[in-house]
């Protein structure tokens, strides 16, 4: 910037009064350069944001270990004991069907339908955690990009200019009669349209390359846990059949029914 001229590298320090000291072309040049400088700064600020987001994702993944362990413990409890909610959710109707079942029928049910339900429970757990990760990324990204564009729009001269022309558009009739003002209004209109397009292009490029693409550490983690889950499920089914765990289910169910009947009687 020339001595005494507003500095486009520091637009937040520039006032509307400063811009009035310039002629129309100088003012337009300042605004163009201020926007271009802001976009360049945005790129370096984005790199910092992306590094921070990567750290947040790594922390989120580390936390999945405890979430995974808790989920697996919960699964074990649900399968070792009769869990009414689980059977309702997956519509097993196993107790209704099994009244006259032999041992082999129970074993067959566990190895087929039981195993399928375990797979569905795994898929639901993965889906819930996919959603959790996506929300983490999306929330941080939306907040960051909104704060950035707001900081640009909040420059004093920018906010006052936008307010003035938006008001002029709304209140001025017969705009073609106000030739000098109309010319300035068209310059403003063209400039904000160009800036909006450049901003949207920048946002879309970042979203397609960084935000929307799958984070490679997460699929690797899921694939490894799927192997562990398959081993756990096979082991759980084996132990469940060896211990004849269906007898515990029937006993639990009978106790639950008795307790419910007692509550009704009371």
Question: Hey, where are the domains in the chain?
Answer: 11-72+102-265
Per-residue pLDDT tens for 94-131? Answer: 988 998 899 999 999 999 999 999 999 999 999 999 99
Per-residue pLDDT tens for 76-101? Answer: 999 999 999 999 999 999 988 998 89
Instruction: For the chain, give the percent of residues with pLDDT over 90.
Output: 74
Per-residue pLDDT tens for 18-44? Answer: 888 888 899 999 999 999 999 999 999
| pTM score | 0.84
* 180: number of Cβ within 10 Å: 8
- Nearest 5°: phi and psi at 213? -70, 150
- What's the Rg (C-alpha) of the chain? 32
Looking at residue 263, its pLDDT comes to 56
Per-residue pLDDT tens for 166-182? Answer: 998 888 776 667 788 88
Of 5, 38, 78, the closest CA to residue 240 belongs to 78
> How wide is the angle at C-alpha 50 spanned by C-alphas 47 and 55, nearest 5°?
130
Q: Report how far apart, in Å, the C-alpha atoms of 246 and of each of 68, 87, 249 are.
A: 26, 13, 5
Whole-number Å distance between alpha carbons of 119 and 121 = 5
Of 205, 157, 199, the closest CA to residue 42 belongs to 199
């Amino acid at each position: 910037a020339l001595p005494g001229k507003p500095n486009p590298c520091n637009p937040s320090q520039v006032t509307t009064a400063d811009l009035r000291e310039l002629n129309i072309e100088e003012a337009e040049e300042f605004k163009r350069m201020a926007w271009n400088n802001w976009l360049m700064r945005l790129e370096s600020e984005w790199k910092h944001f992306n590094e921070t987001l990567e750290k947040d994702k790594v922390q989120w993944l580390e936390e999945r270990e405890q979430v995974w362990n808790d989920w697996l413990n919960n699964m074990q409890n649900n399968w070792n004991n009769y869990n009414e909610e689980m059977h309702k959710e997956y519509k097993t109707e196993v107790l209704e069907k099994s009244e006259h079942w032999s041992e082999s029928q129970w074993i067959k049910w566990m190895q087929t339908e039981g195993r399928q339900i375990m797979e569905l429970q795994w898929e639901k757990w993965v889906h819930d955690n996919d959603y959790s990760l996506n929300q983490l990324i999306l929330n941080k990204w939306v907040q960051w990009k909104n704060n950035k564009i707001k900081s640009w729009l909040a420059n004093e001269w920018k906010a006052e200019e936008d307010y003035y022309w938006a008001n002029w558009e709304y209140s001025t009739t017969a705009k073609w009669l106000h030739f000098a003002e109309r010319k300035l209004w068209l310059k403003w209109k063209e400039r904000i349209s160009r800036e909006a397009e450049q901003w949207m292009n920048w946002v879309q490029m970042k979203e397609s390359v960084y935000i929307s693409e799958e984070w490679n550490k997460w699929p690797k983690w899921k694939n490894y846990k799927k192997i562990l889950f398959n081993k756990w499920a096979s082991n759980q089914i084996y132990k469940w059949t060896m211990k004849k765990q269906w007898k515990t289910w029937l006993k639990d169910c009978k106790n639950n029914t008795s307790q419910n009947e007692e509550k009704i009687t009371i």
